[in-house]
Amino acid sequence: WWNHVFPAPKDPISGVTEAFLADTCPRKINLGVGAYRDDEGKPVVLQCVREAEAKISGCNFLESVFSKVSSKLVEESVKLVYGKDSEVVKEGSYAGIQAISGTGACRLFAEFQRRFYPGSQIYFPDPTWSNHHNIWRDAQVPRRNFHYYDWNAKGLNFSALIDDIKNAPDGSFFLLHPCAHNPTGVDPTEKQWREISYWFKVKNHFPFFDTAYQGFASGDLDQDAQSIRIFLEDGHWIGCAQSFSKNMGLYGHRVGCLSILCADTEKAAAVKSQLEKIARAMYGSPPVHGILLVSSILGDPNIKRLWEKEVKVMVDRIQRMRATLIESLTKLSSSHDWEHIKDQVGMFCYSGLTPEQVNRLRAEFSIYMTRDGRMSMAGVTTGNVSYLANALHEVTKA
Ligand code: LMR
Residue numbers annotated as active site: 129, 210, 246
Quote the ligand 1 centre to 284 CA distance (angstroms): 24
Q: How far is the CA of 172 from the centre of ligand 1 (A)?
A: 26
Per-residue model confidence as pLDDT tens digits over 130-189: 999 999 999 999 999 999 999 988 999 999 999 999 999 999 999 999 999 999 999 999
Write down the pLDDT at residue 251: 86
| Nearest atom (ligand 1) to Cα of 33 | 3
pLDDT of residue 287: 86
Backbone angles phi, psi at 363, to 5 degrees: -70, -40
Beta carbons within 10 angstroms of residue 131's beta carbon: 18
The model's pTM is 0.94
Ligand 1 pocket, residue 212 CB under 6 Å: yes
Q: Which residues of the chain have pLDDT under 70?
A: 60-69
Ligand 1 pocket, 329 CB below 6 A?
no
pLDDT at position 286, please?
85
Q: What is the pLDDT of residues 40-56, one digit of tens each?
A: 999 899 999 999 999 88
Q: Is the CB of 213 under 6 A from ligand 1?
A: no
Q: What does the pLDDT read at residue 69?
A: 62
pLDDT at 64: 61
pLDDT at residue 35, as a whole number: 87
Q: Which atom of ligand 1 is nearest to the CA of 370?
A: 3
The complex's ipTM works out to: 0.94
Contact indicator for 183, 374 with CB cutoff of 8 Å: yes
